[in-house]
Structure 1
Amino acid sequence: MNVKKKLLIVTPYMPYPLNSGGNISQFEMNDSLRKNYHLIIVFPLRTAEDLINFVVLKSKWEDVTFYPFYAKRFSKIIKALKQVPSVLSRLYNKLESTGKEINETDRFVISSTSLFRSRRIEFDKAFVGHVKKVITEIDKINAIQVEFFDFLPLIKYLPKNIPSIFVHHELRFIREKRELEIIQIDLPLLSRLQRKNEEFEFFWLKQYDQVLTVSIDDCKLLADRIFPARVTASPLSIKYQNATPVTYKFDNKLIFLGGSEHFPNREGVNWFIGTCWEVLKAKHKDLSLLIIGKWGAQDVKQYENFDGVKFMGFVDDLFSVMANSIFIVPIRIGSGIRMKIIEAVNHGLPFVTTTVGVEGLSFKKDEDCLIGDTSLAFASRITEIIENPSLAQELIAHARETLVQGFSYENSIELRKNIYESIF
């Protein structure tokens, strides 16, 4: 009997429930890898809801060893975040003194950007001690894998004699560059912050033995500045669960999938509702927009006066809610891949996206999907599908074929296993 190799995974996000792209990507990958490796997973549990979800996850993965860190918050991270409003206040005061005005879009992006937080990652001593204790208690760990930018500097606390892997779900420096590209006011301070954050990101990436990106595009961007052999693309995918052909008939609804905790989602929804929605409603009065995922009460209240916009929260039967809709991906910032697009294609939906939204995936413009990068273009592309049922069917069929050929679940798992075999 072969003994499974031991892989310790340390992640800031428990891979359940499946209410975000990050959770889905972790769950789908680990759900298969646990058959070949002894997975040991460490993550924080902060709320009573987390505890309930943890019980469900344990029942699904009985062959996985869990070492959750029980804490309501990481005090040092919270302390660092509290400094952000004071920085913003000084920034706004400086702009006002020069007579510069900030429009609503710029204010929205600046107030939510990660630029002020990216280098303020401090780990609670108790959490670091927890991770070190796990490493000591587990006999012969073969490799340690850290996930997400939030935990990037954790490498400084890990032993040098165990191979280290970092899974980079989203290149932070690319996301922040794109945030600066969509604001209209010239702020040299923000540009300086972005450059310093980029240096910080690459410094810590270079400390790992291997860096895995979730897209080939991201891999190319990193390989130019990190020794190429230490950066590998490991694309993610989702199991296809609906083997029978899906019949499609548009039911006057658009779907956005994703929560507000991920700022690119918030910015994308804000842009779409603020600049595209009324244009679409003027032409299609019965149209509704269903936003699926966890959104804060303040975000929901912000859009309560927009007719037809509904926040659904977490839904148990995603397939039924999404059926016969047009899937929208109005993402203008970020990197990596949008797992939500793979979800849409798996559900047999046509999708409209921005160029950034479909980046890292091999879907082709006007064949697998429609792309619009301005408000007018994005709304027009949605109208094209609404008014042309045969176009919807063609997009669905072509996208499904592209997914199977280039991003099949089986291929993504085999590639990851091959990468691991080369490391440990």
Structure 2
Amino acid sequence: MKFLAVTYGLPYPLSEGCKIRDHSLLRAIAQEAEVHLLSFCKDDRFPSDLGPLPSFCRSVETYSPPAGRPATALPAHLAAGRPLATFPFYFPDFADRISELAQSHQVDVVQLEHSFLAPYLTAIPPACIRIQSLHNIGERQYASMARMKRTSPAAWLKAMAMRNWEAAWTRRFDGVIAVSEAEAEWVRRQAPQPPVCVIPNGVDCGSLQPLPEPEAGNDLLFIGTLGYPPNADAVRWLVDAILPRVRTQVPDVRLVVVGRNPGADLRSLAETGAFELHPDVPEILPYYRRCRLSLVPLRAGGGTRLKILEAMALQRPVVSTSIGCEGLAVSQGEQLMIGDTPEALSGQIVSVLTNQVLRQSLVRNARHFVELNHDWPALGRRQCAFYNQLMANHRSAA
């Protein structure tokens, strides 16, 4: 099988969840297929470091869109039936390159990552299996952000618009990859035609070995891109509503926040001593080593959380909201602790910090859970099996 992945951003360095997912699955798929990679690099316009990608991809190519695109191109974009939201991501010469690569490498499967690359579907040669990979469902993501803000009608309008065009484009593909069963159900309701395969987020259990407990301290770890509004909200919620309650019972607790692109408000808050901020770190393991548990107090968002799986693999206890662990087949008190109010979350944090037997039970169960359900090599094999089945169906229908 020959496979062309079209990604938003080069999946290296592994600085955020979508890059980790793309990189890890490509590496796993390369064990069974010839992999070619084409990356749309809108933010990192001229990436020079490809890291290990050439070691498992037969070819790696990046595309940097021209700066200052004129608004006069918008009418033609809309006239072609493409959604307004995808205008910043659609460039005819990138579409041409997808078609050229698919034909020159004689690929069998072309996969577009993220819904805003969906209009490039029309560039894929008809002989190829066309796959849409949804890292999250835009409607679900923006609806949860609207519920968080409550006073912002713009988020609700965006959620409704996303539902309409995501559904319309998704149903045109030959197959869909979803990150959770909940998001797969959305696809089956809104776009019932294409088959859906659930490929959850994962970890490399072989490289992420369990860490010993820290010898001292009660440091709490939050990891996430801080330019993403739900993550920034989670940090503020921790500082304002949750940690003061925890400190009444565990006075030496300290919050350690690791994440790129913090806003000025979070930087200012960190300068007051409310938490320890590390915005640009080359290696995350030292922070896991020093922290006693990992926090995921999200009140909005979509997809599934790589940070939870990573903490579980490293045997760090996790305390999360229901939204934070949405899409993972976990149970309260088994693999992690869950709370959705400041009172409940603070109580769960205190329970984990003060109960060693509970900590040991949680991390043992959690490590077994990720080994069984979320190891990248096994997920890659499942994804290849999905492609092979679609290819077989395509041949039999021809």
Task: Give the TM-score normalised by the residue count of structure 2.
Answer: 0.85
Which residue matches 2:62?
Answer: 68
Match among 35, 38, 62 for residue 39 of structure 1: 35
> Structure 1 residue 222 and structure 2 residue 184: aligned?
no
Aligned pair in 2 of structure 1 residues 312, 305: CA closer, same or farther (>3 Å)? closer
CA contact (8 A) 1:76 1:123 kept: no
Q: 1:295 aligns to what?
A: 261
Aligned ranges 1:5-404 → 2 under 5 Å? 5-45=1-41, 51-54=47-50, 56-58=51-53, 61=55, 63-71=57-65, 75=69, 118=85, 121-136=88-103, 138-185=104-151, 187=153, 190-227=155-192, 230-241=195-206, 246-249=211-214, 251-296=217-262, 298=264, 300-323=266-289, 324-404=291-371
What is the percent sequence identity of the aligned residues? Answer: 18
Task: Give structure 1 regions of 4+ aligned residues with deviation exceeding 6 angstroms.
Answer: none
Contact 1:257 1:291 in 2 (8 A): yes
1:422 paired with 2:389, answer yes
Taking the aligned partners of 1:75 and 1:399, their CA distance within structure 2 comes to 48
Cα distance change of structure 1 residues 145 and 279 upon mapping to structure 2, 3 Å threshold:
same
For 2:209 and 2:309, the matched residues in 1 are separated by 17
Amino acid at match of 1:327: S
Segment of structure 1 superposing worse, 23-32 or 65-74: 65-74
Q: CA deviation at 1:65?
A: 0.6
The one-letter code sitting in structure 2 at the alignment partner of 1:179 is: M
- Is the contact made by 2:8 and 2:41 (CA closer than 8 Å) also made in structure 1? no
23 and 139 in structure 1: CA distance in 2 versus 1, 3 angstrom threshold: closer
Decide which moves more: 5-14 or 243-252: 243-252
Q: Are the aligned partners of 1:319 and 1:347 in contact in 2 as well (CA < 8 Å)? A: no
Distance 1:193 1:292 in 2: 29
What's the counterpart of residue 102 of structure 1? Answer: none
- Alpha-carbon displacement from aligned partner over 1:214-258 (angstroms, at most 9, x marks no partner): 112211221123226522212231111368654324632111122
Counterpart of 1:101? none
Of stretches 398-407 and 377-386 in structure 1, the one that deviates more from structure 2 is 398-407
Contact persistence 1:342–1:403 (CA under 8 A) = yes
Alpha-carbon distance in structure 1 between the residues aligned to 2:70 and 2:320: 38
Partner Cα distance (2:238, 2:228) in 1: 16
Distance in 2, matches of 1:292 and 1:72, equals 32
Per-residue CA deviations over 1:51-106 (Å, capped at 9, x if unaligned) read 2432x2446x25431111134758479x99xxxxxxxxxxxxxxxxxxxxxxxxxx
Query: What residue ranges of structure 2 are gaps of 5+ in the alignment?
Result: 75-82, 392-398
Compare 20-29 and 290-299 and name the one that shifted more: 290-299
Partners of 1:394 and 1:76 lie apart in 2 by 58
- Judged with a 3 Å threshold, the aligned counterparts in structure 2 of structure 1 residues 76 and 252 are, in CA distance, closer, same or farther, namely farther
SS at match of 2:14: coil
For the 8 Å contact 1:326–1:352, the answer to whether it is kept is yes
Extract unaligned runs of 5+ from structure 1.
Answer: 81-115
Pair 1:241–1:167, CA change in 2 (3 A): same
Give me the whole-angstrom Cα distance separating, in 2, the residues matched to 1:76 and 1:36: 43
> TM-score, normalized by length of structure 1?
0.80
Give the CA deviation at 1:374: 1.3
Deviations 1:302-331 (A, max 9, x none): 423442512223433422220242101112
Shift of 1:44: 3.0
SS at match of 1:315: coil
Distance in 1 between residues matched to 2:170 and 2:177, nearest whole Å: 10
Asked whether the equivalents of residues 242 and 347 of structure 1 are also in contact (C-alpha less than 8 Å), the reply is no
Conserved 8 A contact 2:217-2:252 = no
Q: For residue 316 of structure 1, give the secondary structure of its aligned residue in structure 2.
A: coil
Residues 41 and 62, structure 2, Cα contact 8 Å, conserved in 1 = yes
The separation in 2 between residues aligned to 1:46 and 1:217, in whole angstroms, is 30
Partners of 2:191 and 2:306 lie apart in 1 by 26
Shift of 1:344: 0.4
Helix, strand or coil: the match of 1:19? coil
